[in-house]
Amino acid sequence: MVRFLEGDGVFARYLALAVAIATLAAFDDAAAQTPNQPPDTMAARVEACTPCHGNRGEGTSDVYFPRLAGKPAGYLYNQLLAFRSGRRKYPPMNYLLEFLPDPYLEAMAEYFASEHPPLPPSAPSEVSKDVLAHGELLATSGDAGRNIPACVSCHGPGLTGMQPGIPGLLGLRANYISAQLGAWRYGTRTAKSPDCMQLVAGHLTEADVTAVAAWLATRPAPANPAPVPKGTYALPFGCGSQPN
């Protein structure tokens, strides 16, 4: 156990947190019955988030509101830090998070990471077969001639992401994916330096973005949507959000 903890600082922190939450959860039943107090649970504490992200982070019908459930906790935490400081911009969220401390944001990230509602059925696509084929090629093989690495080289062969910092790309809608890639291209979304996604998105054209977003949104849910453990494969180049 101790060796386990020494091995990986970040993981140890999440582990400690998970233990704390498990302990808390054990008291939940008792606490939930305290008269005139809201339930002492994370679910009650994140009710401010659920009209947009769904009760368990499964997403809502709004195509720009992303699913949170099951994404790596480290990734979600990085996003919450970026929204809190205003580096990633979405004013309603920037405002909600402004005065919340780090450990609380970690607990929120851990909460949504540990929820596993089913992925939504994949949407039928409105783009042509050729466009989908181009998207598939970029995602699975990239385009070496234009310095575009395959998306799977970082997001995983099953596109389910890797702990602790790389998100899966399934269960997201095309509008959301292309908005995010656009935000990286125009510099309104940035990640910890070196910001590898900025390098990737910088090489994509408008047409590439449409194609890859459309193809990703048509993928069926995999049997096991969980992100793979840290270090399962090596990244083509370094990402600040994915410490070695």
Partner 1 sequence: MGSKLSIMLLTLAALTTAAQAQDKDKTSDIIARGEYLARAGDCTACHTAPEGRLFAGGRAMPTPFGTLYTSNITPDPDTGIGKWSADDFYKTMHSGRFPDGGLIYPAMPFASYTKVTRADSDAIFAYLRSIPPVNQKNKPHDLRFPYDNRQLILGWRTLFFREGEFKPDPTKSAEWNRGAYLVEGLGHCSMCHSPINALGGTAQSDAFKGGLIPMQNWYAPSLTSNREAGLGDWSIKDITDLLQTGVSARGVVYGPMAEVVHNSLQYLSDEDTRAMAVYLKGISEPSPPPPASSTLPTTESSLLISLGKTVYDKNCASCHGLQGEGKPPHWPPLANNQSIEMQSAVNPIRMVLNGGYPPGTKGNPMPYGMPPFAGLLSDNEVAAVVSYIRTAWGNRGTPVSAREANELRSAPLN
Note the residues at the interface with ligand HEC (CB under 6 A). Answer: 46-49, 52-53, 64-66, 68, 71, 75-76, 78-80, 88, 90, 92-93, 96, 108, 138-139, 149, 151, 153-155, 165-167, 169, 172, 177, 179-181, 191, 196-197, 200, 212, 235-237, 239, 241-242
Task: Pick one of partner 1, ligand HEC, none as the site partner of residue 36 (Cβ within 5 to 8 A by kind).
Answer: partner 1
Select from 7, 9, 91, 220 the one that contacts partner 1 (CB under 8 A): 91
CB-nearer residue toward ligand HEC: 41 or 153: 153
Write the CB contacts of 214 (distance below 8 Å, at least 6 apart in sequence).
125, 126, 127, 131, 132, 135, 174
Residue with tokens 């994509």: 204
Which one among 27, 95, 233, 237 touches partner 1, defined by CB under 8 A? 95
Instruction: Give the C-alpha distances (Å, rounded to integers) separating 79 from 66, 112, 127, 231.
Output: 12, 13, 30, 21
**Residue 121 makes contact with partner 1 by CB under 8 A:** no
Residue with tokens 């908005």: 179
Using an 8 Å Cβ cutoff, are 152 and 233 in contact?
A: no
Q: Which of the choices partner 1, ligand HEC, none does residue 177 contact, using the CB cut-off of 5 to 8 A by kind?
A: ligand HEC
Nearer to partner 1, 37 or 128 (CB): 37
What is the nearest approach in angstroms of ligand HEC to the Cβ of residue 49? 3
- Choice from 12, 31, 52, 199 touching partner 1 (CB under 8 A): 52
DSSP, residue by residue, 27-73 = HHHHHHTSTTS--SSHHHHTTTTHHHH-TTS---S-TTS---TTS-H
CA distances from residue 20 to 13, 74, 106 in whole angstroms, order as listed: 10, 17, 12
Report the candidate in 166, 168, 184 with the shortest Cα–Cα distance to residue 242. Answer: 166
The number of angstroms, rounded, from the C-alpha of 150 to the middle of its chain's C-alpha atoms is: 18
Closer CB to partner 1, residue 107 or residue 214? 107
Is 101 near partner 1 (CB under 8 A)? yes
Nearer to ligand HEC, 49 or 228 (CB): 49
Q: In 3D, which of 153, 231, 239 has the Cα closest to residue 190?
A: 239
Q: Does 4 bind partner 1 (CB under 8 A)?
A: no
Does residue 43 interact with partner 1 by CB under 8 A?
no
What is the smallest separation between the CB atom of 1 and ligand HEC, expressed in angstroms?
29
